[in-house]
Amino acid sequence: MTNQEAMEAGLIYDPSEADIMDTQLMAMEKLYDFNQTRPGELSKRNVLLHDMLAECGDGCYVEPPLYANWGGSHVHFGEKVYANFGLTLVDDARIYVGDRVLFGPHVTLATASHPIWPTPRDEGWQFNKEIHIGNNVWIGAGAVVCPGVCIGDNTVIGAGSIVTKDIPANVVAVGNPCRVLRPISEHDREYFYKDEKIDWQLIKALQGTAEEEGAEEAEEEPEATDIPAMAESEYDEENVAKEVSDAGCVKDVVCDGHPWWESAVFYQMYPLGMCGAPFENDGKQESRILKVLNYVEHLKKMKVNAVYFSPLFESDTHGYNTRDYRKIDTRLGTNEDFIQVVDALHKEGIRVILDGVFNHVGRGFFGFVDVLKHRENSSYRDWFHIDFNGNNGYQDGLWYEGWEGNYDLVKLNLQNPAVCDYLMESVKYWIDTFGIDGLRLDVAYMVDREFLKRLRRETSAWKEDFFLAGEMIGGDYREIMNDAMCHSVTNYECRKGIFSAINSNNLFEIVHSLLRQFGTDAWCLYRDYHLISFVDNHDVSRIATVLEDKRNLPIAYGFVFGQPGIPMVYYGSEWGVEGDKANGDPSLRIPIDHPQWNELTDVIAAMAKAHRESPALSYGDFKSLFLENRHCLFQRQFENDRVLVAVNLEDGDYTIHTDFGAGRGRDLITDQWYDFGGGLCVPGHSVLFLHIED
């Protein structure tokens, strides 16, 4: 790993390396030009600001002087960010600032830090942790935000505060160290200073928008973001400390008798593609797998707690033509590199699932190489299905069974005990060496059933709560999903139903599938199972390409996280990366060294948090309450926990009228309250997760 890669991964590194300092110096030159502008050169300053920052939304304004270690090149501003004089951005790591954020004079956002132990500190070693600031945040004069801190939406940080830990949304927080003082309440909507009320009529007049008619109606605030009411009594000393320590964290559902995966959120990586490995195995070792470390903070922020790695063992090309089950692919690095990755994920409470490719191997697999060399005299001749009197597409002078006729994928004979023993020993090696937590079984629908049963027995004995998921394209999923074989399978039926229903404006299609699979009637197929829910992966076109209207992306993920099952997100799709299967598999498996974040990612992260915290979304049954072509409302309920999922595919608002069984609900995605008194008004192209709390 280079110093630059260690820096980007949040690890200890040497900031004095020449390449790092040269890059930093170039960024500082731009900052110098910005700070030399005259007061009246507003347009010039705006152009320079957009050029300096990694991302700068419309309407941003920064008063010079601005100080930044990397000239702002690692800073992401949303829209309408205002910074008063002397803003200091120690941007050695990325700093993400939401929309309409206000910085008072001489605020410092510091991502850089040093080891406590004096020796490495004396030698100049450093590490950096990202800072995330939500929308509508106001940070008062002289405040300091320390490395790794997240501040929630609408929060106010008092002047002079030292923010050392995460601060939740919708609160006022002050002090050294900064602690939650109180929630933002209805009182703040009415008063702007002590006992002085906000005069909305005056504000409208000053804006030049007051009209003679209806002026009396302007005495109250126009439409505003709803902030959930919180009782002042909740913020005693004990709760203040708890609120600070829990900010940004997930309070996972814990329910007796339910294994960890039923409330988990999965994230799929295709390492050979994501890490930029060449398609053909060139035999050149490079530690590309360490690029996964760039994703750890991203996964935490997304509220992911399990990563599924597509094949990463030595193979001929794409990973599914294995050469060596005991060795990480040379193009990705070494076993020691992957141990480092697994340790980093486990440290953050993220479990690791590997791809178990047991149906077939590559032509470079040691046993098949021996067969090609020694033919009938090979000790491995019975490891495969071979006819030495035939031939194949490679003109080897022998015929062998390949996966679905593909001769680059040599089918294993899983009825041969020696083959099964070898594969079981390999899985045991993965558990002992890497500490993996489960397997996704490639083409599990083709794998010998007795092999699956043995795999379930042995992995359960080797590691408690070891997870087995099988790839199923069609048919009855219970053929391999049962108490003797796989715990779960891939839900391809609903994957197709989600995008097809959305594109055709026919929600009956997906709701019918969900009722067929998870409805409350005794005949429904999978009421007692947790299938893997997804909209794309390494084998199919990405959802951002498949959907005809990109505004419906949150709705697609609303089904993934709202329906019964285990939600899984494919790397890059959380910010809308596209990829068309028609252009070949590599177009679905593109290199992405560093993750990105946008509004779609915000929505998915909120859904992931909701899924992990809500018993209803993790374990609940499924019931359709309202269904039309472009609108639906369904209920998830587990014991006393209820969540209503509402969908509107139209451009404008739509009001759903039905028996909600409650007066109102809080949207777990936006934290806004919705009243059901006159029906439920669902905004256009949106999905709501309404938690019934009263």
Q: How many residues does this entry show for the chain?
A: 694
Integer Cα distance of 421 and 308 in angstroms: 24
Integer Cα distance of 682 and 686 in angstroms: 7
Q: Which residue in the block uniquely carries the two structure tokens 């410092």?
A: 108
Integer Cα distance of 325 and 314 in angstroms: 7
Integer Cα distance of 620 and 420 in angstroms: 38
Indicate the burial class of 19 (C-beta count within 10 angstroms; 0-12, 13-18, 19 or more). exposed
Tokens describing residue 341: 């990755």
Indicate the DSSP class of residue 434: H
DSSP-derived 3-state class of residue 101: coil
HSE, side-chain direction, 13 A CA sphere, residue 611: 30
**Listed residue (365, 470, 354) closest to 408, CA to CA:** 365
Integer Cα distance of 151 and 145 in angstroms: 9
Integer Cα distance of 604 and 669 in angstroms: 8
Measure CA 150 to chain center.
17
Distances (CA, A) of 397 to 94, 367, 369, 390, 409: 58, 17, 14, 6, 17
Q: Which residue in the block uniquely carries the two structure tokens 């280079």?
A: 2
Integer Cα distance of 2 and 540 in angstroms: 34
Catalytic status, residue 114:
yes
**Listed residue (534, 425, 548) closest to 472, CA to CA:** 534
Alpha helices in 519-567 (DSSP H): 543-546, 553-562
Residues 326-346: b if buried by 16+ CB within 10 A, e if exposed? eebbbbbbeeebbebbbebbe
Tokens describing residue 545: 């390409």
**Listed residue (639, 640, 645) closest to 660, CA to CA:** 645
| Integer-rounded Cα radius of gyration of the chain | 28
HSE, side-chain direction, 13 A CA sphere, residue 2: 10
Asked if 257 contacts 290 with a C-beta cutoff of 8 angstroms, the reply is no
Q: 127 phi and psi, to 5 degrees?
A: -145, 160
Distances (CA, A) of 616 to 162, 217, 593, 658: 38, 41, 36, 20
Asked if 592 contacts 291 with a C-beta cutoff of 8 angstroms, the reply is no
What angle do helix axes 335-347 and 417-434 make, rounded to 10 degrees?
60
Please count the other Cβ atoms lying within 10 Å of the Cβ belonging to residue 454. 19
Q: Which residue in the block uniquely carries the two structure tokens 């027995």?
A: 457
Choosing from 50, 76, 106, 114, which is the catalytic residue? Answer: 114
Q: For strands 654-656 and 171-174, give the pairing.
A: unpaired
Q: Is the dihedral of CA 140, 141, 143, 149 positive or negative?
A: positive
The helix (run of H) or strand (run of E) holding residue 23 is: helix 18-35
Active site residues: 114
